[in-house]
Chain A
Amino acid sequence: MTAPLSDLEVLALASVMRLGDEAYGVAIKNDIADRTGRDVSIGSLYKALARLEGRGYVTAFTGAPTAVRGGRAKKHVRIEAEGRAALEAALQSLARMVDGLDLKWKPS
């Protein structure tokens, strides 16, 4: 049994999934900031991604360099089936934890 996901890893996995082909460092960072208001540092994000990659939840590949990045390449990340399963498991356990509580958290 691998260690459960940290909340940052959950956020990163979700973001990677949503962004699809456009999932790379700064884009993920901005996505998390836009949706949760949480300002994750580049370093923390890379560390989280490295851990996810180490467990086989995501795979990384080097993309094309762009001018705005000073001619430097992007590190793209793609979610794997195991990653998707881990994300679902994490959310399920969270849902089970809050089930039946009198919380008004569901937006819709």
Chain B
Amino acid sequence: MTRAPRWLRFALAVLAPPDDREHVLGDLDEGFAARRKEVGAVGAHTWAVREVARSAWPLLTVPGRWEGWTMTGLIQDVRSGLRIFRHAPGFAAVVVATLAIGVGGAAAVFSVVQGVLLSPLSFDDPDRVVMMWGQSQEYPRTPLTVGDYNVLADEVEAFAHVGASWSNRALILGEGEAEQVSVGWVTPDYFDVVGVTPVLGRTIEALEEDVAMISHGLWVRRYGADPSVLGRTLDLSGDAFEIVGVLPEGEDPNLTTFAGARAAHEVWRLQPPGWTQGDDRSVGWLRGSARLSDGVTLEQAQQEVDALFAQVNATVTERDGGTDLQVNLIEARTDLVGSVSRTLWVLLAAVLGVLLIAASNVAHLMLARGEARTAEIAVRTALGGTRGRLVRQLLIEGAVLASAGAVAGLAIAALGVRLMLGFAPASLPRTSDIALDGEVVLFALAVTLSAALVFAVVPALRNSRSDLTESLRDRSATMDPRRQRFSRGLIVGEVALSLALVTCTGLLIRSVGSLEEVDLGYDRAGVVTFSLEAPSWGDSNEEAAATMSAYLDEMTSIPGVRTAGFTNRIPLAGGLFTGTFRSDDMVAADAEPAQAAVRYVSPDYLDALGTPLVSGRGFRSDDGTDRVIIDQRSAELAFPGQNPIGRMVELSAIGSDPRLAEVIGVVAATRHHGVREEPVETLYFPMFAAANEQNFRSMAVRVAGDPASFVEPLRQAARRVSGDAVVARVQTMAELFERDVSSTRFASLLLALFGVVAVVLAVVGLHGVMAFSVRRRAREIGIRVVLGAAHGTLLRSSVRSGATLVAIGIVVGTGLSFFAGRLIGSLLYGVDPSDLSTVAAAAALVGVTGLLGAYVPARLILGVDPAVTLRNE
């Protein structure tokens, strides 16, 4: 090759002023040829690269380079671009609508991604706040023990501040109606970790055990935003606190809870200092958080913590969570959104796929329009219009259409965001941060711009290259093969993308189906759950048990209520309470105790929940702590192949010494932590025997009819026992179930929508390309019909070309589907990510739809009398 490399010539052609393009390119080639003779191809190549690079700036700044790009010139072009709406309203409407759908969908999903995943938490320097969770072979995520927390707080140089928190619920008593709030028990450094400044008053200082801070929400709701609230007394379940600070709106210093949700504390108080002192490692209960020192990266801090725990673990013989515990530092925001981030990214990827299809459809349309205007462009070139000027006009026409699409798209996005929030899963954190803000608008503009690049620039460059004589001479020639290849490539891509989307939708729909069928170990229909807070339960165990019975009696006397029971943890509502157990045989063999979840239950609780009794009996109100009910999994673990009824087990719950108890019943295994989570070994302790030791008292009430309609009667029943009793966190079991599967359902709903839109767009695109190519061949077809070709043959050959595209698209799309299936793997349940029947069904659906898209336009156009077609030519 004696000419400079093509890409260099292209680069130079773009850089050079239009008038000098020919000359500059000639000079480059001449220089290249001379160098090649002198120093060989490699040297000439190097020379050319340098030459083009050095020429870039001078060429772009040649005097007069941008003449014609003046405002008047641009306005003129924009005006002529706007004319398209009058001259080709159908074309313009289709382009704008297609773009609006693509851009609108993408902007709507992006605004959710932006609000939930990308926007920073409302703390000072939030990127430096990390959560600390333990991880061992046995437990993927555990709270910290006091001993480990102190090691972290004292030893790690990479931390500027270390804090820990814990929550419970309490009643606000005194003036006004009693109200249940979530209370954050924090260490003094906690407020330095999150870095919030009170809007009123100050934060809590070390050793101030009788002061509290309140959230902005509580301040407005309960105190009418009265500034004199500082210094007033807050009665928290009978304990008096002085209010010393109010936090700014929307900046509650709440981090992630153990369950992965954001804590909802509205009152903050200090933990008694004694709680977090010492080196106890028997119970992990602290939610650790830390602020990184300036200049320290997360990786450095993690390395330091890892090294520290390698030392600590060498000295630890017993620890809740395992002696091999590591502490993971997780950025607070990541920790908070971890569970939904994959869903959202998948949705964003899917909606960008839709956008891609929309953009390539618009590209077809622009190409086809350019094709139709070849003659016009050729004439204009002949009359002296430069290529640059023509490209510019086509670009501006594209930009005008794109802007209209973007505006319409943002309107769709605004609607879409509202719709998505309506359907959003309850597990979606930070919904209040979701809005169509400046960044989303920027995103939409960027997306439109890139789409405009695809759909306007490529056809513009292609169209402007038209050769005058060729264009004018042979108007009926079939499409330029290069252009045709481009269009066909787009169609294949569209079909492939739609297939992948439809497959993912199918997989998700099947997952939702599998989740619905899961055996939970209880009956989720007809049960309402809530937490019951009373100002006083009584001092002794007997008094507390009597109080609980009083509530139970009052509630079960409501007509329609079947059974009701107390527990410390409602399934699917979060919360953890664990202990260990071993059978009499295991004690004799000195075997290690096994981990189990511990539930305190009142006699009718399991009945109310609908957990079947497998053998033995349920609790009676006089059963003491020497009786226990175990679930089937525990039975299999501790008494494999034996009858556990009447056998003894050694039990220990958190914070209590091991004791022996007789197994009186075995119940079905239940799914407590999530519908997808396998049941864990569970032990049921009689709640009446430990009635005054409970931190959490929740109830499950089984009713006949709609559970929601019983909430008010139940609340009144509770008030009849005590005027200050509060029924809070009301949720039916069905709602809890729904919340648990909601992110899967949400994703499948949106993906189904995207899938449908994608298929429709792909078919519209195919229709357009088919119609266009058949019309281009109209003369040829006409002649062939006149010469006696059978109509059927022509139809077949036309359809075949479309069908081939669909087939190739399906082959590519099948591969893409397997990839996409793996991408959404973690959202799936009970279905293989590369499930063949789903892929096959999706392929069949897309294939049949695609074939229709190929057949219909061919049929329509071939129906025209050949004489008419030929006369038109």
Q: Which residues on A are within 8 Å of B, measured CB to CB?
A: 24-26, 29, 41-44, 46-47, 50-51, 54, 62, 65-66, 68-70, 72-75
Which of B2, B27, B63 contacts A25 (CB under 8 A)? B27
B26:A42 contact, CB within 8 angstroms = no
Whole-angstrom distance between the alpha carbons of A47 and B63 in the complex? 7
Q: Mark B2-40, 1 if CB is under 8 A from A, else 0.
A: 110000000000011100101111111111011000000
- When chains A and B are docked, how far (Å) is the Cα of A86 from the Cα of B31? 30
CB-contact partner of A26 in B3, B31, B63, B64, under 8 A:
B31
Contact B57 A73 (CB under 8 A): no
Interface residue total, chain B, C-beta cutoff 8 A: 29
Do residues A46 and B2 form an inter-chain contact, with CB atoms below 8 A? no
Query: Nearest chain A CB to B369's CB is how many angstroms away?
Result: 32
Report how far A46 CA is from B15 CA in the complex, Å. 12
Contacts of A72 in B (CB 8 A): 22-23, 25-26, 29
Which of B2, B22, B33, B59 is in CB contact (< 8 Å) with A43?
B59
Contact between A43 and B54, CB atoms less than 8 A apart: yes
B62 touches A46 (CB 8 A): yes
Of A41, A50, A75, which is within 8 A of B64 by CB? A50
Contacting residues of chain B (40-57) with chain A, CB-CB under 8 angstroms: 51, 54-57
CA distance A12 to B797 in the complex (A): 64
Shortest B387–chain A CB gap in Å is 15
List chain B residues, Cβ under 8 A from A68.
2, 29-30, 33
- In the complex the two chains form, is A51's CB within 8 Å of B63's CB? yes
Do residues A50 and B62 form an inter-chain contact, with CB atoms below 8 A?
A: yes
Q: Which of B23, B31, B33, B59 touches A47 (beta carbons < 8 Å)?
A: B59
Closest to B33 in A: A68
Contact A26 B55 (CB under 8 A): no
Per CB-CB distance, the 5 closest pairs between chain A and chain B, nearest first, are: A43-B55, A72-B26, A69-B26, A43-B58, A41-B54
A42 near B55 with CB under 8 A, answer yes
Contact partner, B63, options A50, A62, A66, A69, Cβ 8 Å: A50
Render B189-222 as a binary contact track against A, CB cut-off 8 A, 1 for contact: 0000000000000000000000000000000000
| Chain B contact residues, CB within 8 Å of chain A | 2-3, 15-17, 20, 22-31, 33-34, 51, 54-59, 61-64
The contact sample of 18 A-B pairs, CB cut-off 8 A, is A24-B23, A25-B24, A26-B27, A26-B30, A26-B34, A42-B27, A42-B28, A42-B31, A46-B23, A50-B63, A62-B23, A66-B26, A68-B33, A69-B26, A69-B27, A70-B25, A72-B22, A72-B26
Is the beta-carbon distance between B62 and A42 smaller than 8 angstroms?
Answer: no
Q: Is the CB of B26 within 8 A of A70?
A: yes
In the complex, besides A25-B23, A68-B2, A75-B23, 13 extra interface pairs with C-beta distance below 8 angstroms are: A26-B27, A29-B31, A41-B58, A43-B15, A43-B24, A43-B56, A46-B16, A50-B63, A54-B64, A69-B25, A69-B26, A69-B29, A70-B26
Residues of the B chain whose Cβ atoms lie less than 8 Å from the Cβ of A54: 63-64
A46-B59 contact given A70-B3, A72-B23, CB 8 Å threshold: yes
B29 near A42: Cβ-Cβ < 8 Å: no
Compute how far the CA of A73 lies from the CA of B15 in the bound complex, rounded to whole angstroms.
18
How far apart are B10's CB and chain A's nearest CB, in angstroms? 13
CA–CA, A62 to B24, complex, Å?
12
Q: Is the CB of A41 within 8 A of B29?
A: no
B51/A74 in contact, CB under 8 A: no
Instruction: Collect the chain A residues with CB atoms within 8 Å of residue B58's CB.
Output: 41, 43-44, 46-47
Bound-complex Cα distance A51 to B58 (A): 12
Among A54, A69, A73, A74, the most chain B Cβ lie within 10 Å of the Cβ of: A69
Q: For residue A26, which residues in chain B have a CB less than 8 angstroms away from its CB?
A: 27, 30-31, 34
A74–B64 touching, CB < 8 Å? no
Indicate if the CB atoms of B26 and A25 lie closer than 8 Å: yes
Tell me the bound Cα distance from A75 to B3 in angstroms. 19
Q: How far is the CA of A68 from the CA of B64 in the complex (A)?
A: 29
Option from A24, A41, A66, A73 in Cβ contact (under 8 Å) with B55: A41
Knowing A25-B26, A68-B2 touch, does A44 contact B63 (C-beta < 8 A)? no
Bound Cα distance A44, B51 (Å): 10
Max chain A Cβ within 10 angstroms of own Cβ: one of B27, B28, B54:
B27
CA distance A43 to B15 in the complex (A): 9
Q: CA A75 – CA B2 in complex, angstroms?
A: 21
